[in-house]
Chains A and B, each alone.
Chain A
Amino acid sequence: MNPKIGLVLAGGGAKGAYQAGAIKYLAEIDFVPHIIAGSSIGALNGAVLAANLPFRQAADRLDLLWTDLGAANIIQPDRGEIAQLASYIIQTSLPTFGAWATKLLESIGIFSNTKSVFDPEPIETFLRRAVDAQQLRDGIELWVAVFPSLNIPRFRYDPAMLVIDMIRAKMGQDAHWLHVQNANSDRQLYDILLASAAIPLAFPQREINGNIYVDGGFADNVPLGALAAQGCTHAIVIHLENGAVWNRHKFPNQTVIEIRPQDPINKSELPLYGDAITFLDFSRDRIELLKQRGYADAKACLEPILKTLTIERDRKTSLNLLQVRTQQIADDSPVY
């Protein structure tokens, strides 16, 4: 059976720059995925990679885009800093801590008739410039994780709806995996990508084929399952958090390599707060730092694995040769 190699990109907002650095190293060692899956910022990174082949060129393109992103400062909040943090607190703590946090935030009056904290227009424009729809359709197979929100007519997405979604996620509502290249229009293609990154309350949810979707990280921040369902045999997963609780052994049929940040990736160790301020920090210095760390961590992770596999392959080859040669010498008739 021919191996089907996948690349899985976790969500994590501005920490996605880390993936750009890691992927730069992967491209340098001639890694080329057959299929990509991403959630949230991972979905957007995946779209850039899938649409700008060859893969090494795509890695360079992604690296450059993140540099531009740091310079452009396009992520601008519509409301105050507290609202940004509150939005992300809810997103990052889902589904385990969300109910408690939401209640807390509601009680102090942060959420009230909020549609979205950030203006989606700049990020949409940036995405359309970075990813050509036709090239994406012709590129590497791309899957994104989205979470199906409740679609109640005449009800806007508000904290109450968010709480309901959190409860649904906790009760076992799975994320959906959407095949981006199956979009029936360019508009829908971009909507799928933006839906995966539609942080509840921070960015507007997206409607696709009658379903309302929000950020896939809600229920599946590391969507390897999407690739496993497509017959993926090997995958590299790039996480965007320290100590990520993600169990590789749930995929017994896949050979998985996890690249995890070795140094603290959040700017603060405080739970929720640290995640929130790092998630939204698209500053140039921060992006460059994360890219460098991603490159270094990928190298530190892959080198010992590749060395081990090479040694083992050489051992097997040597053993086979030894057996063949020994068989030949054993079968050889006596010289005297």
Chain B
Amino acid sequence: MQNFATQSLQDLQQQVPIISDKALVDLVNGIQVNQDLIRFRQNRGFIGRLFDGITGSDRDRQILTDSNFNVGMQALHQWVLALSDNLRISNVALEITQTKLLEARNAIRNHRQELDLLNQITDRLQIQLNNHEHRIHNLEQRVYRIETIQQIGEIIAAWQSGRTYQGFHWSVQIAFVIREIVDFALADYERTTNDRQLRPKIIDQLISASRQIPDHAFSLVTLLNLAHQDTIEENRELAQALLEVRSLPPSRLLEMPYLFTLGTTLEFAGLPEEARPQDPAKTAFELCRRDLGVIYPATDKKEFIEHIIKETASDRLSFRNSF
């Protein structure tokens, strides 16, 4: 596609005169030759001038000087024409370049505006995306919470319906159910979401499912002795094995006094009669008070459940985070 500027350029290209090397040499060297001739005539003495006049060489030199001058002027004229056309072409080239430059500047300006617009859109999209991400995150947490609650509910329901942990005393059942809840649902949930709000709900559900246990306070030692006595014979060893704490390091035991007392009670109660303490729970309780710190002699089912949940969940979280 040709535009006006292209056509102008082509026209000018056809008009460019070429100045030959000969013309340039005649111009420059002609000046030098004329300088020689003029200098010779200027410096010629009287006899020399007389001699040159007689021989005619002075006239010849004059003609030669004029001839060189004329040829030089012609060469100069050619050169001026060449330079003028050079200038014309340069002007056209400049005009075309300026046009293209303006075109490029406009393009850049348009692109800049589009870029600003795109940036604004991107910012808005980013905000929307962040909002959506936040909403999705909340939804995922809610879904996860619901799923966890559902899992916990299923575990409690299975226990409540008698499908799990039968043949154990209530306190041992509570320890087992809570361990199942923590291991299969609560620990992952709390570690992922840092949400501790499910614990009261679990406590409520477990209290609700423990109607056979009186609501008033009772002796912890009595409860723990019953944990051994009310567990059927064939389950005692299993309960003792599952709740044993002697193999745990002291640092973990410091955070789980109730579980320590329960496990130690079951361990003492399982000893041969000659080695067994007269009151295993009392002995375990005193051992706990001596080695681990605060534990109260009286409790109720809510407090007991709270302690077991807290100790089990904390221990599992600490244990998993240690990896």
Contact = CB atoms under 8 A, between A and B. Distances in A.
A270 B47 contact: yes
A257 B30 CA distance: 9
B29 A305 contact: yes
Interface stretch (A75-83, A138-146, A178-186, A315-323): A315-323
Given A255-B21, A269-B48, A308 B28 contact: yes
Contacts of A280: none
Contacts of A97: 51, 54-55
A260 B89 contact: no
Residue of B21, B92, B100 ringed by the most chain A CB atoms within 10 A: B21
A323 B13 contact: yes
Nearest to A97: B55
Interface stretch (B32-40, B198-206, B219-227, B275-283): B32-40
B253 to A, nearest CB: 76
A243 B3 contact: no
A335 B33 contact: no
Interface stretch (B60-68, B158-166, B169-177, B207-215): B60-68
Chain B contact surface mostly: helix
A: interface residue count bin: 35 or more
B36 A330 contact: no
Given A242-B40, A255-B25, A271 B64 contact: no
A259 B22 CA distance: 16
A102 B284 CA distance: 160
A246 B22 CA distance: 18
A155 interface: no
B100 A257 contact: no
Contacts of A301: 29, 32
B126 interface: no
Contacts, number: 128
A304 interface: yes
Given A248-B33, A326-B92, A336-B110, A331 B6 contact: yes
B36 A262 contact: yes
A258 B26 CA distance: 10
Contacts of B41: 243
B44 interface: yes
Contact of B37 (A96, A243, A330, A336): A243
Nearest to A335: B107
Given A323-B9, A326-B96, A243 B61 contact: yes
B25 A305 contact: yes
Contact of B71 (A243, A249, A260, A336): A249
Contact of B28 (A93, A305, A315): A305
A336 to B, nearest CB: 3
B97 interface: yes
26 contacts: A242-B39, A247-B64, A248-B26, A254-B22, A256-B29, A257-B25, A260-B32, A260-B36, A262-B35, A262-B39, A271-B47, A271-B48, A301-B29, A301-B32, A304-B28, A304-B32, A305-B24, A305-B25, A322-B90, A326-B96, A327-B9, A329-B96, A332-B100, A335-B103, A336-B106, A336-B111
Interface of B: 1, 3, 5-6, 9, 13, 16, 19-22, 24-30, 32-33, 35-37, 39-41, 43-45, 47-48, 51-52, 54-57, 60-61, 64, 67-68, 71, 83, 86, 89-90, 92-93, 96-97, 100, 103-104, 106-107, 110-111
Q: Sorted from nearest, which 7 A-B pairs have the closest CB atoms?
A: A243-B40, A336-B107, A271-B51, A326-B93, A255-B22, A260-B36, A330-B6
